Structure 1
Amino acid sequence: MSNESDPKPRGERPVALVTGAAKRIGASIARTLHAAGYDLALHCRRSLEEAHALAAELERQRAGSARVLQAELTDTAALARLVAEAVAGFGRLDALVNNASTYYATPFAQATAQQWDDLLGANARAPFFLCQAAAPHLRARRGAVVNIADIYAERPLPGYPLYSISKAAVVMLTKALAVELGPEVRVNAIAPGNMLWSTNAVKAETEATVRERTALARQGSPQDVADAVLFLLRDARYSSGVVLPTDGGRLLHI
């Protein structure tokens, strides 16, 4: 698709930086924002091949609309550079979606300080310092942040205490930064339920347990998260500090 057919020329379109954008939920978020008219800085850590394939797909739809940026989010020094590269590539930054997340079991008796640093670093410290780096640019555009929390920030997932703690930190980060960055910047979060199949038996993994533990009696999808992200970025103009459960009613039965 050429620029002549775009609703807005490059430079006038809103720009979003999406972390962990190469695949799964992050890729769904990227495609949904792109379809809504956003240009995208697509962050990845290791999934360069997938990120470049996604960028190429989006570029075919609208030239000059996607760039791939690679960074290790646990390296705090890399975060300001990531934001600077996004702004340099597009000339503006209107939205930050902190989607990237680290997830693995840490049974309490075996949990280590290294695991604490890894999970809290990736899931809570990185979003905080990305917001710090992005804040001047977001303020200039009266932009918005969406963080991806989890329903297990509210009710811990057995065997995953550090992950649950890290996502609880994301919830408070969202509320604290809504105060710190307002009134120019809105900061909200999504608390997804089970969107992708996994091997964790505690979560709703079979059709039977989905029906039993979820009010809507069905599995969610990455698109459900992506739709919620777009809503919070574009449409929820009088919402800040909100954590939106996107779980099909799972919290009612967890």
Structure 2
Amino acid sequence: MSDRPVAFVTGAARRVGAAIARALHAAGYDLALHCRNSRADLDALVAELEGVRGGSTLALQAELGDADALPGLVEAALARFGRIDALVNNASAFYPTPVGTATPAQWDELFAANARAPFFLAQAAAPHLRAARGAILNMADVYAERPLPQHTLYCMAKAALVMLTRSLAQELGPEVRVNAIAPGNVLWSTNEVKVETAELLAARTALARQGSPDDIAAAALYLLRDARYTTGVVLPVDGGRLLHI
């Protein structure tokens, strides 16, 4: 069994997921890191982290829409490290579904990635998180509370993830804390509905600037490690964007 705390991070290969992985690793966590398609990026991240501390990572590749595969991911992390102290449900699916064109397949895909997989991973990990008095962190969205035009299914799925956060906090307490982060603009978007100029971003954000994946990673470390009396919370890390939406 690892002498260090162990975190399982989904969608860890790039962007916010990779920033969270680096922050947790620097804080002393061993990591089970998941990707869907970005295996080359994940392998590069693993090589980077292994160069810092050997034997500290496990790479896992899976389609989270395959519910039958989810318990096996938790089992693989346990087989490698012998414990799980934190589950970070970071992986997500995001694309527009304008009313009138949305399909049941899109419903299934968006809910599978954003709500179903986080629940069944949490269910599989819960006994081990209880034993470790650990924590779950879900990656929500400001649009779980404020609808984004043409993205009804995505917003609904993230709203389900927010309720999952609150319900699990109640059901898994007192041993397991469960929180979420609702990121604001931390990466420039190519989505034509969301895309903003620097001027628009400054006007719509109280801190008048874009954030970064490192801002999300710092909040993730706080909620997983340091916020010992915080559970059932959705923490906006958005520079004050919710004040202007």
Correspondence 1:89-108 to 2 at 5 A: 89-108=80-99
Residue of structure 1 in register with 2:138 after alignment = 147
Q: Tell me, in whole angstroms, the C-alpha distance in 2 between the residues paired with 1:29 and 1:153.
A: 21
Counterpart code for 1:221: S
Q: Does structure 1 conserve the Cα–Cα contact (< 8 Å) formed by 2:185 and 2:211?
A: yes
- 1:81 paired with 2:68, answer no
1:56-90 CA distance string (max 9 Å, x none): 11001001111101111010001000000011111
Q: Tell me, in whole angstroms, the C-alpha distance in 2 between the residues paired with 1:204 and 1:229.
A: 25
- 1:128 paired with 2:115, answer no
Residue of structure 2 in register with 1:5 after alignment = none
Q: Does structure 2 conserve the Cα–Cα contact (< 8 Å) formed by 1:149 and 1:171?
A: yes
* Identical-residue share of aligned pairs (%): 69
Aligned-pair CA distance for 1:204: 5.7
Q: Secondary structure at the match of 1:178?
A: helix
Q: Secondary structure at the match of 1:203?
A: coil
From 225, 229, 234, the counterpart of 1:243: 234
1:183-215 CA distance string (max 9 Å, x none): 100000000011111123443621111111000
From 27, 52, 56, the counterpart of 1:65: 56
From 204, 210, 216, the counterpart of 1:219: 210
Aligned-pair CA distance for 1:109: 1.1
Q: TM-score, normalised by structure 1?
A: 0.95
Q: Tell me, in whole angstroms, the C-alpha distance in 2 between the residues paired with 1:16 and 1:180.
A: 21
Residue of structure 1 in register with 2:108 after alignment = 117
Q: TM-score, normalised by structure 2?
A: 0.98
Counterpart code for 1:241: G
- 1:253 paired with 2:244, answer yes
Q: Tell me, in whole angstroms, the C-alpha distance in 2 between the residues paired with 1:166 and 1:225.
A: 20
Q: Does structure 2 conserve the Cα–Cα contact (< 8 Å) formed by 1:40 and 1:67?
A: yes
Aligned residues: 245
Higher alpha-carbon deviation: 231-240 or 193-202: 193-202
Counterpart code for 1:234: R
Unpaired runs of at least 5, structure 1: 1-9
